[in-house]
Structure formats: structure tokens, C-alpha cells
Structure 1
Amino acid sequence: MTATGSAYRRGPFREGDRVQLTDPKGRMHTITLTPGKQFHTHRGHVKHDDLIGAPDGSTITNTAGTEYLVLRPLLSDYVMSMPRGAAVVYPKDAGQIVQMADVFPGATVVEAGVGSGALSMSLLRAVGDTGRVHSFERRADFAEIARANARAFFGEDHPAWTVSVGDLVEELPGAVEPGSVDRVVLDMLAPWECLEVVAEALAPGGVLICYVATATQLSKVAEAMRDFGSFTEPEAWESLVRGWHLEGLAVRPQHRMHGHTGFLITTRRLAPGVTPPMRKRRPGKGYAAQEGDETTTPAEVPPGTDDAEWTSEALGERVASEKKMRKLARGVVPPSPR
């Protein structure tokens, strides 16, 4: 049995393939091969017909004498250039999620916050055709763009993927059996609101991993995990990637780097009836102040206590306009049939 999408990852270039052209300065252009079409820049053009049938890893020279390296884009290349309505999970974070959550072939994974589908494709790669990724997205337009992006990359709808439009808290109990989920990945504004339904769905020992953008979100979800009482002590980290310049003896770090993109925090589901061991160190008294405490004035209530404060705009995220979403939806082109 051929794994989904593998036929599109090897062999000569064919009609409908996405290929990546890299010029001598390292600038990359991704095109979909279509008979009769041409790829134009301000310095000449390349005929698609000259690429169809060529082997992966070829070079081609345009009409102005500029030579391009031609390769199929890797998944990491694809997610950084695909149409997007929401910010994508960067490849460096997607790799951490798949590895640190131990997403394995055949696993049942629940994902909430599909966005543009970047993380979904990494999860589908990891679970394979025999696994299951059940994704939940509140916005129907985001879900549709994610489906189209995944379909364009894999060449068809992935058999392991189910996308549901709706709120995770409301939809998850009816979508999975209690204790049947191996891994849960939450990429959302307020993951602490979902802990009860996630705990019910996770199998004992199952992993919950959350991707959050700010330290305030990280702090709140960590304390919520501890207070819930059915999870192990959470662990949190971030990954920073810095490339290196390699040219002769000039070997040095690049001036630009992929710095902070988000925090990851992970915990595991305890067996029913088991409580976590007592922590040796407790959080400071300042965190314990709650709205219901009569001795606490409104000015002393910690920021973020009110769930209504947690919006994309408040966390500094760019929110795609309805006009942009309509343009993206029109621009999604399904792959040519094979």
C-alpha cells in the first residue's frame, strides 16, 4: 500500500506538481507546473513544459541566462509559502510538538486550532494512514483553507484527517470515546478552558501539549493544569533557531534568526483516581488573588483573570480581515488529477 502523498514526493516532475525554483541569490519561487504556462520575473522567463518530465534536483536557465535550481519543496518550505488566513505554527515548533508529544504511527490525535493547517500536516505525516487526527476549528473559513492547503500538499484528502467546525469543549465529547485519545495538541487563546473535556478524552499516560504565544497565557495554563489535579507537573520551553553563514573561512552566525514564536507546555494524563505527588515548591501568594476575594480591590486583580480579556488582538496577533479571507479562498487551486 502506498502512503498518502508519497507518490507526489518522488520521481520526475509531472503536471500539477508544485516545484521550487531558487535563483543564484537564494530567492525562492514556488510554482505549480501547468502545460503551456510560463514563470516570469523581471529578468526573463521559464517554460513549465521544460520542467515537466525533468528529474527532481535539476537546474534550468531562463531566457535571460539566469540559472535556477529546481526541487520539490519540503513540507517546511511549503508551510511557509502556502496561503494562510491565520499565523502558522513554524516548522521548528511543529517538529518539537511531534517529537516531544511522541506522536507515533497509528496514534489518535486531537488538535484544536487548525489555523491554516501547517501543524495538521505534520501530525498527519506522523500518524500515517492508520492513525487518526481529529481537528477542531471555530472558524469555517480557516478550516476550508486548511483543508485546501493539505489537499494541495498531499495531492488528495488525507484519509486519517477529520476536520470539525465548532468549539472543542462542545464538540469533543460527542466525537471521541472517553479515554480513547493518545495525544491532544491545543493551539488556541485559552487552552485552560478545555482541560476538563481533554482529561475525559485522554487515555491514561496520554500527552497534552499546548502552544501559546505569550508568557501570561503560559502562566495561566500551567497553574490550571496543576489545579485540575489529573495531570503530571507541566514542563514548558521555547525553541530558538539561528542559522549560520558558510562561505570559505567566513563561518559565523547569521545576523537574522528565528527567535520567539511561541511557548510549548506539556503534561500527561494520570490514571483515574490518581492524584499527582505534592509539589515541593508552591507559587507565590500573589498568584492566589482571585476576583471573589473580598480583600482584593479591582486594581489588584492580576491581569488575565477575566477570560473576556483573552482575544487575538490583546495578545498582539494579526487578525486576517474578511476581505483577505475571501481572496485566499478564491485563490486556492485544487491539484490536477493523476
Structure 2
Amino acid sequence: MRRGPFRAGDRVQLTDPKGRMHTITLEDGKEFHTHRGHLKHDDLIDAPDGSVVRHTSGAEYLALRPLLSDFVLSMPRGAQVVYPKDAGQIVTFADIFPGAVVVEAGVGSGALSLSLLRAVGESGRLLSFERREDFADIARANARTFFGQDHPAWTVTVGDLVDALPQAVEPGTVDRVVLDMLAPWDCLDVVGTALAPGGVLVCYVATTTQLSRVAEAAKAAGGWTEPQAWESMVRGWHLEGLAVRPEHRMHGHTGFLVTMRRLAPGTDAPLRRKRPAPGAYGEDYAPASGEWSAAELGERPVSDKKLRRTRRDAAATATRVTGSDTDPEEGP
């Protein structure tokens, strides 16, 4: 599906002369309409990738298959997605490799899942856990749309990671774990049991409070290397002749990444040789406690009405691409 001429069922990204992008699914006899006219899907079917097609208004549209990064930013979503800049770093710094056994929680809209599935390949396994069934259905439909079928390496379980993971894997058999959730520190024990010695844990968190708590919890629990944390910010550049300058907009803070590795059983990490900063654990230091909600962390709640619409849209798009009808209430 990623090579050769365009076929009916392919997702195609159209870019107009002003740089505006539209993503369509090709169907025999259909037309793509704008306020100025239309272009025919049949003019694109059997055309090579990277073709230019003429609109009835006379404008020329560039047609390309969308990249994974394009698809993630335009797909139906029920929850905030992990942006490509963070997904790329997770795949690289967690060393996700073909054939790896990877555990992911939570799934959200499936953006990170697509990158993880690409990395593990058909010979690996991605075990994804999501508490909300509606989010899981949206993620499944998005993956089906992108890959053109249900990915053979992917299993999605609706339920809590702490309860479900011990039933899904044997101790010490997981290579990598990626946690994108409100309270990853609650899962350290069960994740530590599932990970093989030397395995990598990556936590994706939104706030400094979460960042501090997961790092301190790992240190207190033992059995982990020293946590490493960072964030990334990406700034594009405007390129036109000698007018080379930074873009006015940029991808700023999206989240923090925290990584650590599992130590062998009974092994303690060597003591740190550097001293903590003055006041780091002074009288004013108090570990965060209690249950947190997404709203308390600044996340906008998603209405049930929007989720139902997104769920239907994702399932409909997947049906057009794959040609098979999957009930969003059932999943694969």
C-alpha cells in the first residue's frame, strides 16, 4: 500500500497552490469538491505517487501518499496525540527494534501505537492497554486505516495495566514499556516484574509535578538505573531565496520523557557521586500524593458527543480503506 500507483482505497494528501492540505480516500467515480469546483478521483487512480492533478478551477493540486507524521496529525482523535517529534524520540531512545515485545499504556487515539508497530514489525509484539473502550476503538480504526488491515503484531486490551499485564505476559519477557498515562508511578512494580533485565521503561508525562514524582518513585523502589529526563522543542525555518529565517510558530512543550532501565534481580544501582542541589530535599520538599485527574493537569475534557462522532468517523474511514465493515462496538 505504500508503493506503486494510486489505487482505489488509498489515502491521498492533496496540496493546493497556497499550501493547504486535504486528505481524501480514493473511490471510483467520486469527486473531491471545494468552494471553487472539484477534481475527479478517477484522474488520480492509476497515476504515480507525486502526481499533479488539475482542478476544474484551473488550480493544480500536488497528490502524495501521506507520511506517518501527516496521518497522525490529521486522523480522527478522541484524546490528545503523541506528536511525531516525541514519538520519534521514544522509538529511538527506547531502542524499539524489529521483533521486540513492547507494552504500551494508554493507547489514546493510537498515534504512538502506529510508530511502535512500524518499529517492531510483523515479527514483534505490541501489547497495548487502554482503560477506555471508546479510545481503544478509535485507535484500532486509525491503525486499520493506516496499515490497510489489522496489524498482526498488535493486541489491544481494554482494562487497567496493573490488573491486566500479569495475565498477558510472563515475568521477565518484555523488552520495552512505554507509559503515557496520568500516574505511571502506580505501575512501576508490575512493569518491573514484566521487564527483562536491561529492558527500557519510557514515561511520557505532561507536567513537572508528574516528572518529579515518577523519578522519585523509581529511586525509592530500587531496581532501576538513574532516571533520565528531557523535553524537545522543534522550530521550522522559512526558506525562500535570501529570506531564510525561523518560522513564527513552533512546536513548543508537548510533554516530558523519562527513561530508565531495569536492573538484574537483587542488584542495586551504584550510588550517585554528585550531591543533590541545596534544598532539593529540604524542609519544603513534600512528595505529591493522592489521585489526579486529567483536568487538574490542564487537559481539556472530551465530551461524550465528540467521542461518539470521532468513533463513527474513524470506523467509517477504516471501512472505506479496507473494504470491510467493522462494528466500532466490537473491535477486531
TM-score category by the smaller chain? over 0.9
1:307 CA displacement? 2.4
Q: Aligned residue for 1:195? A: 188
* Cα separation, 2, equivalents of 1:66 and 1:284: 64
Letter aligned with residue 212 of structure 2:
S
Structure 1 position 130 matched with structure 2 position 123: yes
Stretches of structure 2 that go unaligned for 5 or more consecutive residues are 325-332
Contact kept, 8 Å, 1:245 with 1:251, in 2: the verdict is yes
- Most deviating of 187-196 and 324-333: 324-333
TM-score normalized with structure 2 length: 0.93
Mapping for residues 204-219 of structure 1, pairs under 5 Å: 204-219=197-212
Q: Aligned residue for 2:294? A: 312
Secondary structure of 2:248's aligned partner = coil
Structure 1 position 177 matched with structure 2 position 155: no
* Cα separation, 2, equivalents of 1:157 and 1:75: 16
Q: Aligned residue for 2:225? A: 232
Contact kept, 8 Å, 2:145 with 2:322, in 1: the verdict is no
TM-score normalized with structure 1 length: 0.92
Structure 2 CA distance for partners of 1:319 and 1:288, relative to 1, 3 Å: farther
1:81 CA displacement? 0.2
Secondary structure of 1:119's aligned partner = helix
Runs of 4+ in 1 over 4 A off after TM superposition: 283-289
1:113 paired residue among 91, 106, 116: 106
Q: Could you say what the CA RMSD is over the residues aligned between the two structures, in angstroms?
A: 1.5
* Cα separation, 2, equivalents of 1:254 and 1:325: 33
Letter aligned with residue 253 of structure 1:
P
Contact kept, 8 Å, 1:116 with 1:149, in 2: the verdict is yes
Contact kept, 8 Å, 1:185 with 1:210, in 2: the verdict is yes
Structure 1 position 154 matched with structure 2 position 154: no
1:61 CA displacement? 1.0
* Cα separation, 2, equivalents of 1:69 and 1:254: 23
Secondary structure of 1:53's aligned partner = coil
Q: Aligned residue for 1:296? A: none
CA deviations over 1:221-244 (Å, ceiling 9, x no partner): 011111111100000001111000
Contact kept, 8 Å, 1:15 with 1:336, in 2: the verdict is no
Secondary structure of 1:19's aligned partner = strand
* Cα separation, 1, equivalents of 2:259 and 2:17: 42
CA deviations over 1:57-105 (Å, ceiling 9, x no partner): 0001100011110000000000000000000000000000000000000
Q: Aligned residue for 1:331? A: 313
Structure 2 CA distance for partners of 1:118 and 1:154, relative to 1, 3 Å: same
Q: Aligned residue for 1:20? A: 13
1:198 CA displacement? 0.5
User: May I ask how many residue pairs the two structures share in their alignment?
Assistant: 319
Contact kept, 8 Å, 1:56 with 1:71, in 2: the verdict is yes
Stretches of structure 1 that go unaligned for 5 or more consecutive residues are 1-7, 290-299
Structure 2 CA distance for partners of 1:36 and 1:109, relative to 1, 3 Å: same
* Cα separation, 2, equivalents of 1:54 and 1:125: 26
Percent identical pairs in the alignment equals 71
